[in-house]
Amino acid sequence: MSDKPLQTDSGIPVKEVYTAADLPTADTSLPGQFPFTRGVQSSMYRGRLWTMRQYAGFSTAEESNKRYHYLLGQGVSGLSVAFDLPTQIGYDSDHALADGEVGKVGVAIDSLEDMEKLFAGIKLEDVSTSMTINATGFILLAMYVALAKKQGADPAKLNGTIQNDILKEYAARGTYIYPPKPSMRIITDIFEWCSREVPKWNTISISGYHIREAGSTAVQEIAFTLSNGKAYVQSAINKGLDINVFGKRLSFFFNAHNNLFEEVAKFRAARRMWAAMMKSMGATDEKAMMLRFHTQTGGSTLTAQQPLNNISRVTVQTLAAVLGGTQSLHTNGYDEALSLPTEEAARIALRTQQVVAFESGAADTADPLAGSYYVEALTSQVEAEAWKLIETIDAMGGSVSAIEEGFIQDEIARSAYEYQQHIEKGSKLIVGVNTFTSTGEEKIPVLRIDESIRQQQSARLQDLKSRRDNLRVQECLQKLTAAATSGENIMPVVLEAVEAYATLGEIADTLRQVFGEYK
């Protein structure tokens, strides 16, 4: 080991040893108590384990449906849907811009008919479904509710989450459609509609995951994510919504990387910060101040070199999420630096969660690292550094302004560049990449998506349009134009449109005509 000073991935110096003198001002709260540093439930996993999800979606709805049934049979307790890029940015599979991307990074969903195939044989009342979808999240949610109604389910009993976090798309990921202001309006429409129609649904999953994947540090991940959360809350308050009502349906989505103790400190600090933030914005119900979050292990930490090492990385990251108090977890497959996960890789990833849950003892007591000199000191240091960034963003007028000015994007890009420089110089060691390398090639089977998927989807679309009531579809799209123009809530009209089998692209294009596109 080098004798040079050590630091976390966020640049926080790490001392050789920590003692009681390093402990910050005591936070004597218990789990389930404000400010929730130690967790949002008093008994944590003794009362209920985290939801074990596996993020899956590829090719056609039928192929993804087979994977969902497989995962449910292996013991997952919640589904997590990945959509292909055309679906995410509002293009049907037969659109020219969809060429080469249909079914590649997720499942292609063009209409309610595809949604029916995606969940065939799965009662939506009986599962919790998370959908990683943002710009078109309102359309996919409407399709999900429409399908549930067709199944005879009560929408008020549906459990799940749409990601619906558009601000991080402008800052880190890029799957936006409309400019920020109309996008924020759609989000508050979802908040309002769901509070009446789908009250158990988590209306937004404010995502730090993609901010981290783009190259941010752990400190930046929570600072930028909580700032975005603050912007959504203020937008809803401005619309007249009750923070104590919609605040309970907000959830977060964080990344788990390899620096175990910094990641645990990050999760603990984020809960404490969000509780303080919501209280300062007027929340009086403690349940509206709780930061509940889903975690996914770090995709950007997976290596194509010696990919079986990724099983160990995912195990460390799983422990970080569990010791940090996550409510829901997806573990990545070891082969995901090479392709979408095979069934074997998905099974091992799920078994990793199950080993931690049932064999490690990590779930036996709430916040087991509380009181550690190092973890408590690090929690306070991560929090202090994150507040500094949030204060900078607030001084710029909030997240929307900071994104429009490029501040958040620039900060992420700088951190990503510095991290890569450390890897190239060897000051950051990655096993199998810049140290402990091997010359032999490992033969890892990969999942390949058939190029004919686009032709299949296009043929389906043509067939659907020949069978549906096209006059009714046009009437629904005209009503959507009127609602979007007048400022009324668009969700009831979107639901009516998907029930008439209007396609995702038709609905997205109708709103492009009203709102324009963000360039």
Residue 246 pLDDT class (50, 70, 90 cuts): very high
Range 155-181 average pLDDT: 95
* 331 contacts 357 by C-beta, under 8 angstroms: no
Task: Report pLDDT for 78.
Answer: 87
CA atoms of 139 and 42, how far apart (whole Å): 37
* 202 contacts 184 by C-beta, under 8 angstroms: no
CA atoms of 303 and 297, how far apart (whole Å): 13
CA atoms of 440 and 426, how far apart (whole Å): 22
% of residues, the chain, pLDDT over 90: 92
Task: Report pLDDT for 446.
Answer: 84
**In whole angstroms, how far apart are CA 93 and each of 43, 136, 176, 504?**
47, 14, 18, 10
Q: How far is CA 385 from the centre of its chain?
A: 23
Mean pLDDT of the chain: 95
Say which amino acid occupies 258.
N
- Nearest C-alpha neighbor of 102 from the set 454, 452, 447: 454
- Which residues are CB-neighbours of 231 under 8 A, at least 6 positions away? 167, 184, 398, 399, 400
Q: Which of 244-253, 285-294, 442-451 has the lowest mean pLDDT?
A: 442-451
Give 142-154 pLDDT, tens digit per residue.
999 999 999 999 9
Looking at per-residue confidence, does 339 or 465 come out higher? 465
* 341 contacts 332 by C-beta, under 8 angstroms: yes
Using a cut of 0.85, tell me whether the model's pTM lies above it. Answer: yes
**In whole angstroms, how far apart are CA 254 and each of 114, 213, 476, 498?**
29, 10, 37, 31
| pLDDT surpasses 70 at 298 | yes
Cα dihedral: 15, 16, 20, 25 (round 10): 10
* 102 contacts 457 by C-beta, under 8 angstroms: yes
- Which residues are CB-neighbours of 30 under 8 A, at least 6 positions away? 38, 42
Residue 471 pLDDT class (50, 70, 90 cuts): very high
DSSP per residue, 291-311: --EEEEE-GGG--SSSTTHHH
Task: Report pLDDT for 1.
Answer: 46
CA atoms of 176 and 163, how far apart (whole Å): 13
Give 190-243 pLDDT, tens digit per residue.
999 999 999 999 999 999 999 999 999 999 999 999 999 999 999 999 999 999
Beta strands 13-14 and 6-7, pairing class: antiparallel
